[in-house]
């Protein structure tokens, strides 16, 4: 899980001002099945909200999460110890998952999401730059359509698609969603 560097944009219908949001990206590494959501910022509330939406999209919770080593999630990361932000740790406990942040300056620790961020930036954000949106919700609605197409697109060098591999193999490995709301 990570934030993309490219910003999403929409227009405030009242002021005409251009507003930018941050793109949250998550990927399941075996299938490459991807999730994306635009949030108003990269603050902790947006980070956790995006996780909750992601798990709902996947229909389950991965046993292990490898996020970027960001301040909204990690308080301290040394060679011997990782201290998560208290809210993020409570979130992980509520969803019965383990969070192991990528090491500092080690993008290979989360190579699947780094590659997917590049692909989604190219395929989704770049494609959507010619649309005109008047709210973050409108942007996310179109993003969901583009994301569905991205996940259903057939692989070039093997049979199936991200979605078909997810549905036939990877979905069964997810833990059920907890019966609570955060």
Alpha carbons within 13 A on the beta-carbon side of 177: 14
Reply yes or no on domain 2-60+113-173 having CATH 3.30.420: yes
Residues 180, 178: Cα–Cα separation, whole Å = 6
Tell me what pLDDT residue 179 has: 77
Per-residue pLDDT of the chain (182 residues; tens, 9 = 90+): 888 888 899 999 999 999 999 999 899 988 999 999 999 999 999 999 999 999 999 999 999 988 876 766 566 656 666 677 788 889 989 999 988 887 665 555 556 667 777 887 778 877 888 899 999 999 999 999 999 999 999 998 889 999 999 999 999 999 999 975 44
What's the maximum distance between 2 C-alpha atoms anywhere in the chain? 51
Residues 72, 76: Cα–Cα separation, whole Å = 11
| pTM of the predicted model as reported, rounded to 2 decimal places | 0.86
Beta strands, E only, the chain: 2-11, 18-27, 34-39, 64-65, 74-77, 82-84, 98-99
Q: For residue range 21-43, list pLDDT tens digits in order.
A: 999 989 998 899 999 999 999 99
Residues 101, 83: Cα–Cα separation, whole Å = 10
**Residue 179 burial by Cβ neighbours in a 10 Å radius (0-12, 13-18, 19+):** exposed
Residue 93 CA, chain-centre distance (Å), reads: 19
């Amino acid at each position: 899980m990570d934030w993309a560097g490219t910003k999403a944009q929409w227009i405030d219908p009242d002021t005409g001002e251009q507003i930018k949001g941050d793109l949250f990206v998550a990927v399941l590494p075996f299938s490459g099945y991807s999730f994306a959501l635009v949030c108003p910022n990269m603050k902790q509330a947006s980070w956790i909200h995006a996780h909750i939406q992601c798990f709902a999209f996947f229909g389950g919770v991965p046993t292990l999460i490898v996020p970027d080593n960001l301040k909204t999630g990690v308080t301290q990361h040394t060679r011997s110890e990782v201290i998560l932000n208290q809210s993020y740790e409570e979130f992980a406990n509520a969803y019965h998952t383990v969070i192991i942040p990528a090491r500092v300056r080690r993008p290979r620790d989360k190579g699947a999401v780094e590659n997917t961020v590049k692909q989604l930036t190219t395929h989704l954000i770049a494609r959507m730059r010619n649309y005109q949106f008047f709210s973050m919700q409108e942007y996310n609605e179109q993003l969901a359509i583009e994301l569905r197409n991205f996940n259903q697109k057939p692989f070039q060098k093997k049979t199936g698609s991200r979605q078909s591999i997810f549905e036939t193999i990877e979905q069964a490995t997810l833990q059920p969603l907890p019966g609570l709301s955060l």
